[in-house]
Amino acid sequence: MMRFEGKAVLVTGAATGIGRATAIAFAREGASVMIGDIDDRADETVAMILGEGGRAAFRKTDVRKAPELDELVAQCLDRFGRMDAAFNNAGVLPPQRPIHEIPEDELDLAIDVDFKGVFFAMQAEIRHFLKVGGGAIVNTASVGALIADPNMSAYCAMKHAVSGLTKAAAVEYAQQGIRVNAIAPGFVVTPMTQHWADSNEFTQMFFAQNISGRAARPEEIAPTVLHLCSDGASFINGATFTIDGGQTAH
Ligand code: NAD
């Protein structure tokens, strides 16, 4: 299937993990992919896509800075002549601490990257989609948008905020042809969570609780993002899709 032939998508946070796997999956279905990331390893994602005969470009972008997201959208239009969908995925997991021990700079990091980064990206993308009569946006939330784990309060609060922002944007722009959805992955093995994957004690406790008995691979998250950005999802709007192997089912 080549659902994105002739289309261009923007992906933030595609140097590693879920964003990288999703950028590659988009390119394999024909999309030109514009990547924004603070990490130069996004060049390796681009090289991988180009090596497979796909189209991709990377612009160094800090999602905490709104003008850099405006520029990323401008670059996508400049390089590929269009932008049809966007995956706002860049995120950070601050150090795990109880609420009363969290210093303000760690709280600010979660607010700035995990919430304001998605907000600023959506602003830039929506301005373009309003001009061209529509588009699709997918934001990365987390099961932390649905449930709470101890010592992850700022992250959970910001992921709840992303889910709420997704609904708010869907409500505001549905009549302009813009669909906005979110994904809520469970435990996916990526650089963000490698320390858990490496901890026998943690993984055994987690796997005992999860009906799938394992964590996900980033490649298992990408297909839902592609579907939500495709015409096949034309009646899905304002939803947060859980992709957690059943973690929150019991
Ligand atoms: P990851 O660390 O591999 O990916 C995060 C990406 O965001 C990286 O490419 C990083 O460079 C980029 N990034 C971080 N700060 C940035 C900034 N200021 N500006 C631009 N880019 C920035 O981890 P991942 O697990 O692939 O995370 C991707 C998304 O998935 C995040 O939003 C994360 O919260 C979410 N998520 C992850 C899991 C999991 O278990 N791994 C579960 C639920 C949700």
Please say if the pLDDT value at position 191 is more than 90. Answer: yes
The answer to whether 101 touches 154, Cβ cutoff 8 Å, is: no
Between these two residues, 195 and 76, which has the higher pLDDT value? 76
Query: Does residue 3 form part of some domain?
Result: no
Q: How many CB atoms lie within 10 A of CB 214?
A: 12
Q: Decide if pLDDT at 229 tops 90.
A: yes
Nearest to 151 by CA among 184, 187, 102: 102
Q: Is residue 66 part of a domain?
A: yes
The answer to whether the predicted template modeling score (pTM) of the entire model surpasses 0.95 is yes
Determine the atom of ligand 1 nearest the C-alpha atom of 143.
Answer: 43
pLDDT in tens, 6-48: 999 999 999 999 999 999 999 999 999 999 999 999 999 999 9
Residue type at 96? Q
- Give domain status of residue 1, yes or no: no
Q: Is residue 250 part of a domain?
A: no
Residue 248 lies in a domain: no
pLDDT of res. 210: 85
Report d(CA 200, CA 181) in Å as an integer.
Answer: 34
Domain count, the chain: 1
How confident is the prediction for the chain on average, in pLDDT? 97
pLDDT digits 0-9 by tens, 142-154: 999 999 989 999 9
| Cα 90 to ligand 1 centroid, rounded to whole Å | 5
The pLDDT of residue 201 is above 90? no
Is 90 exceeded by the pLDDT of residue 111? Answer: yes
Our answer on whether the CB atom of 228 is closer than 6 Å to any ligand 1 atom is no
- Does a structural domain hold residue 56? yes
**Ligand 1 pocket, 92 CB below 6 A?**
yes
pLDDT of residue 228: 98
> pLDDT tens-digit profile of 79-91?
999 999 999 999 9
Amino acid at 190: T
Residue 181 β-bridge partners: 138
Specify the CATH number for the domain of residue 236. Answer: 3.40.50.720
- The per-residue pLDDT for 167 is 98
Within a domain: residue 77? yes
Per the structure, the complete domain to which residue 12 belongs is given by 8-243
Indicate the range of 40-44, 97-101, 192-196 predicted with least confidence. 192-196
Residue 189 beta carbon below 6 angstroms from any ligand 1 atom = no
Task: Give me the pLDDT at residue 209, please.
Answer: 78
Q: Which residue pairs from 119-122 have beta carbons closer than 8 angstroms and sit at least 24 positions apart in sequence?
A: 119/165, 120/63, 120/64, 120/65, 120/66, 120/69, 121/12, 121/63, 121/69, 121/72, 121/86, 121/88, 122/86, 122/88, 122/165, 122/169, 122/180
Decide if 249 is inside a domain.
no
Residue 1 predicted with pLDDT over 90? no
Q: Which two tokens stand for residue 205?
A: 């406790």
60 confidence band (pLDDT: 50, 70, 90): very high
Atom of ligand 1 nearest to the CA of 63: 19
User: What is the 3-class SS of 49-118, one letter each residue?
Assistant: HHHCCCEEEEEECCCCCHHHHHHHHHHHHHHHCCCCEEEECCCCCCCCCCHHHCCHHHHHHHHHHHHHHH
